[in-house]
Amino acid sequence: MYYFYILISDLDMKYYYGSTKDLINRFKQHQNGEVTLTKCRRPLRLVYYEAYTARQKAVFREKQVKNSGAVRANLHKRI
């Protein structure tokens, strides 16, 4: 399985969007400060994820959410 996921920073209440094959390990990397973009924004919470059978679909969803304000706004309403 591949995952599109959303984290929120408890520090600045901003969202981070990503995709990965191993959601549990990737979240641990974020929590341990091993990811440059979120290192200074810890602590982080996993607030949403979607599972896909193909990597391309998870990456497409990540790009879709990052590039479309309307898609992002609708998703934030669900969180």
pLDDT in tens, 31-51: 999 999 999 999 999 999 999
| pTM (two decimals) | 0.94
| Predicted pLDDT of residue 4 | 98
| Predicted pLDDT of residue 33 | 97
How is the chain split into domains, by residue range?
A: 2-78
Is 3.40.1440.10 the CATH number for 2-78? yes
Give the mean model confidence (pLDDT) for residues 1-7: 98
* C-alpha triplet 61, 54, 28: angle, nearest 5°: 70
